[in-house]
Homo-oligomer: A and B are copies of this chain.
Amino acid sequence: MARTPRNTLSPELIVRTALEVMESRGTDAFSLRGVAAELGVGPMALYTYFRNKDELYDAVRDHLMGLLPAVPGDAAWPDQVRTVCRSLRLLMLQHPCLAQLLAGRPLSGHETARVAEGLLGVLRAAGFDAETAARTHTTLFTYVLGSTSWEIQMAAERRDPEAWRRLRATMESLSARDFPSVVELAPELARTTGGDEQFDYGLDLLLAGLQLRTPA
């Protein structure tokens, strides 16, 4: 009985396939069994290469982080920072699963470290001390992660008619007397759940605040 030949699998192949499954079937519908089936292999075969589902997640995350371009060396530091943040956001939009992969687990992995190195290097070169550089890195990272995750999530929900209906219902149940601002700004709020402008608005606030602290 012709079994599966011996060395068909590899960590890289599994990661690539896992990514494909996440992108085609959606992150929530992702399962080890799905990946295994796609590879024409039993579910347990994956455990030869990854100890559990979380380790596979980490590998996929690091793989995606490897797609980030290097920081451009020939620009003023605020522009460099902007570029790094924008490319991370772009990558998250291109690969929506990345949002969940980043949010759920600590940042282990070589490629992930490379990205951190890029941003930290820029900040150190700009003259910020160790503590401020680290704080700024965390702040920027959590801003990008939070705002882009939110954007992705909302875009996904907008496609679900049931969720949309429920949100509409809540909105319309609000009296203009008790909730004047929410009712008045409803269209603006709907418009500002995502998009480049919204992202840049917050990023510019952070950068403006940061430039006030520019070291001598």
Contacts and interface: CB of A to CB of B under 8 A. Distances in A.
A91 interface: no
Copies in the complex: 2
A115 to B, nearest CB: 10
A109 B173 CA distance: 10
Contact of A130 (B136, B150, B188): B188
Interface string A189-216: 1011100011001101111111010000
Given A105-B163, A142-B143, A182-B117, A192 B134 contact: yes
A66 B181 CA distance: 18
B163 A106 contact: yes
B145 A182 contact: no
Given A117-B182, A142-B202, A185-B130, A173 B209 contact: no
Given A143-B147, A179-B114, A108 B191 contact: no
A142 B144 CA distance: 9
Nearest to A212: B208
Given A134-B191, A137-B189, A202 B143 contact: yes
Contacts of A124: 181
A92 B138 CA distance: 18
Nearest to A55: B166
A174 interface: yes
Contacts of A120: 181-182, 185
A74 interface: no
B139 A182 contact: no
A116 interface: yes
